[in-house]
Amino acid sequence: MRVVSLVPSGTLLLRALGLEPVGVSHSCPNPQGVPVVTEGLIPKGLPQEEIDRRVREAHGRGEPLYKIRGEVLAALEADLLVSQGVCQVCAVTPQQAALATAFFPRPPRVLELRGTQLEGLFLDIWALAQALDVEERGRHLAQEIREGLSRLPPPPPRRPSVAFLEWLDPPYLGGHWVPELVALAGGRYLGPKPGTPSLRVDPMDLPEAEVVFMAFCGYSLEEALAAVADHRARGGYLDRYLRGRQAYLLDAGPFQALTHRVAEGVWTLAHLLRGKGVSPHLARPL
């Protein structure tokens, strides 16, 4: 089966199930150098507040944030497109994908990843495994994830309060599956309820948490460190907010997408909440 992934979570899950896509989005990890079938319409390297402004303006005008390279996609003759219906900011939507392929001689099927909570991850894995005819691999992957989560240490006698920022300027508190990850790790989350979207807040209204985690959507850890340094150089709110709190900047990979990597993310949070060290590739204290 020839599969094109339009979203990083789809690419990661496909590979975990043993299939390499023949095409990927511009934001997907692409070590094989397969054709790239999308492009972002917001330039890279902009400050976070400028990215946020452009995203909101595009939504207000009803404009997409991404473009599908129709000719590249058509040449791949895909049987299946993997998209997502969770966040319009994160990747091409299923509606865009269906519209872009409607006039292909043989339009591919569009499979939509829909998980917004941990249990939705297992539904997404099963949907992919069935579409690829690799049900046994799907069951094995789901079992591995559940076993990894089952080995977590018991919660501490008193759960520390936690804030989790997935964007800095302006601040957004992580939603969807993030509250569950924090709870599994042993924290008491001061943010949106499980399954609900991330929440934009005024810096003055950030929660009075004992521990602050930050993992910026779409940023590597090094890019996030640069964004924090720039924010501090401009006299932003962060240093005032973090005063007297434990704070960690995280690799966003295990948190920004609902994939098998969430188990790694929970273990990272669990270690940090218990005062244990983790690899500097996963987290840096602030």
Give me the residues of the chain with pLDDT under 50, please.
Answer: none
Element (H, E) at 84: strand 80-84
* Residue 88: per-residue pLDDT: 65
Closest C-alpha to 138, from 130, 149, 146 = 130
In tens, the pLDDT along 217-228 reads 989 899 999 999
Model confidence, pTM:
0.92
* Residue 134: per-residue pLDDT: 97
Contact 149/198 with Cβ under 8 angstroms?
no
Give whole-number Cα distances, 79 to 7, 18, 106, in Å. 16, 17, 8
* Residue 40: per-residue pLDDT: 86
How many other β-carbons are positioned within 10 Å of the β-carbon of residue 2?
A: 13
The amino acid occupying position 130 is Q
Q: What is the distance between the alpha carbons of residues 278 and 5, in angstroms, rounded to a whole number?
A: 31
* Residue 218: per-residue pLDDT: 86
User: Could you give the domains of the chain?
Assistant: 3-120 (3.40.50), 161-285 (3.40.50.1980)
- SS3 at position 228: helix
In tens, the pLDDT along 6-31 reads 999 999 999 999 999 999 999 999 99
How many other β-carbons are positioned within 10 Å of the β-carbon of residue 65?
A: 18
